[in-house]
Structure 1
Amino acid sequence: MGDSGPERVLIAASFVNRVGNGLFNAAAALYFTLIVGLPAAQVGGALTIAGVVGLCAGVPGGHFADRRGARTIMMVALVVQAVSMAALVLVESWTMLTVVATVDQIAAAVGGAAWGALVARVGRDRPARFRAKLRTFVNLGVVLGTVGAGLALAAGTRGAYVALILGNAASFALCGALLLLLPRYPVLPAPPQERRLLAFRDRPYLVFTVLYGAMGLQYPVVSLLLPIWIAEHTEAPRWTVAALFAVNSAFCVLLQTRIGSRIETPHDGGRAFRTAGLLFLVSCPLMALAGYTPVWAAAALVLAAVFVHSLGEVWESSAGYALGFGLAPEHAQGQYQGLLGLGFSAGQALAPAILTTVVLGLGATGWLLLALCFAALGAAGPSVARWGLRTRPQPAVAVEATS
């Protein structure tokens, strides 16, 4: 756990919340299609509308958290999510699903930005080490929640699905209650005459947001693209799909603190981003090669590729923390984290279409193009870090930029 009381509180709150997310996310689509009886196209449409509307709320919500207090805004968002999540058990129509899911996604975007600002305040002494530990427990929470969801899915009853949804709602409420144990951090004053929504005019940060969102394509590679590739293009046994999730989760949990705690400054983050791109440059061709080898060789290649990819994921997430927090002004962490979340969420929304049409459509060539794309994105990391450091107004950061 964390080294201080506030760190331990925020880690515990995040862990509880992500256990709930793991319970719900693995079963949400099946609940609305199999139990409620809505057509899959309607479910997808409702969640897409909710997601798009939610994207627009992150930066304004983050700015509100900067000016009104991150803890307060995050607690309000968690209460709204607890209520909206519980309301999902009452959904019987597409319209109701769209309304409830939209409210939930708006609260999630606002809460995510406020969470980023709160992380910045709680982990100020040793930010890299704290954020690495935080991500370790977040990953572990998702894994445990997913295991619980698997048990409910095996039961397949309405009661089991409702238990998952209400469990997620309870996790939001418990997370909010735990935040009461945090100090009430004073709002940091903004410089005189500073315009609102400063993040949208910060060109280095905007460029990094685009890079970070594009590099985020690496997450659906393991959760979406590789399982389809294994099933349709390799001789690897089907249990390999389950094994790759276990390997990915285990290595991210085990290695996040060890690697992430060393990546503290934006300069470190730029180099880590480049390292991540190089690791993905190795992992993607290994995944492609599995489609052209005998059965056990294919299984071995897939597991080796996931191991390398997991290393890249740890380096990439650590780089995101170092640059995402390090380049943001302390008084505007909320809106900057909201912008970063906007870029990441937009990338995740586009990822399924890009990966399934371009990569799967081109086969091995698609995998190689994806690898080169990741490497090119990573190669830009050090330059963006230097650019960002040169344009920061803080004297301490300016010294680092010129050293």
Structure 2
Amino acid sequence: MVGDSRPERVLIAASFVNRVGNGLFNAASALYFTLVVGLPAVQVGAALSIAGVIGLGAGIPGGHLADRRGARTIMMSALAVQAVSMAALLLVESWAALTVVATVDQVAAAAGGAASGALVVRVGGDRPALFRARLRTFVNLGVILGTVGAGLALAAGTRGAYVTLILGNAASFALCAALLLLLPRYPVLAAPPQQRRWLVLTDRPFLAFTALYGAMGLQYPVVSLLLPIWISEHTEVPRWSVAVLFAVNSLFCVLMQTRIGSRVETLRDGGRAFRTAGLLFLVSCPMMALGAYTPVWATAALILTAIFVHSLAEVWESSACFALGFGLAPDHAQGQYQGVFGLGFSAGQALAPAILTTVVLGLGMTGWLLLAAFFAALGAAGPSLARWGARTRPQPGVAVEARG
């Protein structure tokens, strides 16, 4: 079953449509600006980096606005802005124009992402863990389908194919916003009296988990960036196998997310799930590295097994993210909390490529072992952080000024 209630089914459908569009665009965006528009790759990278950095700061105020004005309203507004900015990319002919349009898109994306997190909490119903697991399953499936569509357009290699991808993504934003109209108007939840406006900035357990999860986010580029380079430079495995491994990773996560995530409900469950993820990464990273020291047939089997272990760890990690990232946040401030959480994760993703390609690849096997130990150490902190968070949550009926 897709969802247990109409609002759940609506939000799952809207998110699925949005992510199909993301998959269409993300796989081909850089090539469009370099091959079709004719901008130098350095300029494209600089424009997207500037936009990303500026956009990071929009999540927190966007989330706070969602708490005060309604998550559905803010998310729909952000999606409308993204639909327009995405279509406007077809008019871009210079570095300056790309920077401006991409910045508008990233600001809207950050604000909309925080509002989306708050909306997920309102829609989640009596079994929020099950709903969030189903939602992530369909989000991942949407990205996969979009990426397949992008691959077909890339194979054609024409301007018309690239334009179709961009307009498809713009249409997905507009359709997602339209679908959200089918959701009820959830009332804004009032904050307890005399509570600080920016409560999240004083919530030390939540900030600590945000930092831990941002650091653990280094695992995502392991499959998409680090492993492909390692296979190419240190093994005899065919390079086309990278696409197969990425597909296996995505498909495994789609198949296992609901099965595992629906069982991770409480803060305690989230802490244990985070520890489990760290231990599984401790196993998968050395297995990937060992592929450089075995015969080609053994390398293929070893790396494929490592992908399964790594994917299982990713599912446990995302389940921990839902249980702790949403569970530590008060209902009336989910927007600002998700804004801070998104900022922490995005910052980690921005630093990840540099860390993985310099430290890990530079040190070879030692780098992989250090990365594995790093993930395990982060995961080990999960249970104690969950206990800390549970102790510092306000008891029912008790209003506090700040938590920490």
Given that residues 59 and 197 in structure 1 are in contact (C-alpha distance below 8 angstroms), is that contact kept between their aligned partners in structure 2?
Answer: no
Report the alpha carbon displacement of residue 196 of structure 1 after superposing the two structures with TM: 1.6
Q: Deviations over 1:227-258 (max 9, x none)?
A: 11111111112232011011101100000000
Q: Deviations over 1:85-135 (max 9, x none)?
A: 000011100000000000000000000000000000000310000000000
Amino acid at match of 2:358: T
Give runs of aligned pairs for residues 4-403 of structure 1, distance below 5 A. 4-395=5-396
Given that residues 235 and 293 in structure 1 are in contact (C-alpha distance below 8 angstroms), is that contact kept between their aligned partners in structure 2?
Answer: no
Given that residues 153 and 160 in structure 1 are in contact (C-alpha distance below 8 angstroms), is that contact kept between their aligned partners in structure 2?
Answer: yes
Tell me the distance in 1 between the aligned counterparts of 2:138 and 2:250: 11
Tell me the distance in 2 between the aligned counterparts of 1:181 and 1:255: 29
Tell me the distance in 1 between the aligned counterparts of 2:370 and 2:209: 21
Evaluate the alpha carbon distance shift between residue 357 and residue 396 of structure 1 in structure 2; reply closer, same or farther with a 3 A threshold.
farther
RMSD value over aligned CA atoms?
1.0
Amino acid at match of 2:170: A
TM-score by length of 2: 0.97
* Runs of 4+ residues deviating >4 angstroms: none
Report the alpha carbon displacement of residue 266 of structure 1 after superposing the two structures with TM: 1.0
The 10-residue stretch of structure 1 (16-25 or 232-241) with the greater mean CA deviation from structure 2 = 232-241
Report the alpha carbon displacement of residue 281 of structure 1 after superposing the two structures with TM: 0.2
Q: Deviations over 1:189-208 (max 9, x none)?
A: 00112222211111110000
Amino acid at match of 1:41: V
Amino acid at match of 2:275: R
Tell me the distance in 2 between the aligned counterparts of 1:300 and 1:394: 51
Q: Matched residues, percent identical?
A: 84
Q: Deviations over 1:254-284 (max 9, x none)?
A: 0000000000011100000000000000000
Report the alpha carbon displacement of residue 396 of structure 1 after superposing the two structures with TM: 9.3
Aligned to 1:113, the other structure's residue is in SS state helix
Report the alpha carbon displacement of residue 395 of structure 1 after superposing the two structures with TM: 3.1
Tell me the distance in 2 between the aligned counterparts of 1:380 and 1:70: 32
Equivalent residue number for residue 401 of structure 2: none
Aligned to 2:193, the other structure's residue is in SS state coil
Tell me the distance in 1 between the aligned counterparts of 2:103 and 2:349: 17
Q: Deviations over 1:323-348 (max 9, x none)?
A: 00000000000010111100000000
Q: Which runs of 5+ in 1 are unaligned?
A: 398-403
Q: Deviations over 1:39-87 (max 9, x none)?
A: 1111111111101111001011000000000000000000000000000
Amino acid at match of 2:149: G
Tell me the distance in 1 between the aligned counterparts of 2:273 and 2:45: 35
Evaluate the alpha carbon distance shift between residue 128 and residue 396 of structure 1 in structure 2; reply closer, same or farther with a 3 A threshold.
farther
Q: Deviations over 1:264-306 (max 9, x none)?
A: 0111000000000000000000000001111111111111111
Tell me the distance in 2 between the aligned counterparts of 1:396 and 1:259: 33
Tell me the distance in 1 between the aligned counterparts of 2:70 and 2:291: 50
Tell me the distance in 2 between the aligned counterparts of 1:336 and 1:124: 20
The 10-residue stretch of structure 1 (233-242 or 372-381) with the greater mean CA deviation from structure 2 = 233-242
Q: Which runs of 5+ in 2 are unaligned?
A: 399-404
Amino acid at match of 1:210: A
Tell me the distance in 2 between the aligned counterparts of 1:323 and 1:247: 27
Aligned to 2:237, the other structure's residue is in SS state coil
Tell me the distance in 1 between the aligned counterparts of 2:126 and 2:50: 40
Tell me the distance in 1 between the aligned counterparts of 2:68 and 2:366: 49
TM-score by length of 1: 0.97
Tell me the distance in 1 between the aligned counterparts of 2:380 and 2:61: 31
Given that residues 82 and 170 in structure 1 are in contact (C-alpha distance below 8 angstroms), is that contact kept between their aligned partners in structure 2?
Answer: yes
Tell me the distance in 2 between the aligned counterparts of 1:290 and 1:368: 13
Tell me the distance in 2 between the aligned counterparts of 1:396 and 1:355: 47
Tell me the distance in 1 between the aligned counterparts of 2:305 and 2:71: 41
The 10-residue stretch of structure 1 (143-152 or 388-397) with the greater mean CA deviation from structure 2 = 388-397
Equivalent residue number for residue 400 of structure 1: none
Report the alpha carbon displacement of residue 394 of structure 1 after superposing the two structures with TM: 3.2
Given that residues 285 and 368 in structure 1 are in contact (C-alpha distance below 8 angstroms), is that contact kept between their aligned partners in structure 2?
Answer: yes
Tell me the distance in 2 between the aligned counterparts of 1:360 and 1:184: 50
Tell me the distance in 1 between the aligned counterparts of 2:244 and 2:287: 16
2:4 corresponds to 1:3:
yes
Q: Deviations over 1:349-381 (max 9, x none)?
A: 000000000111111110000000000000001
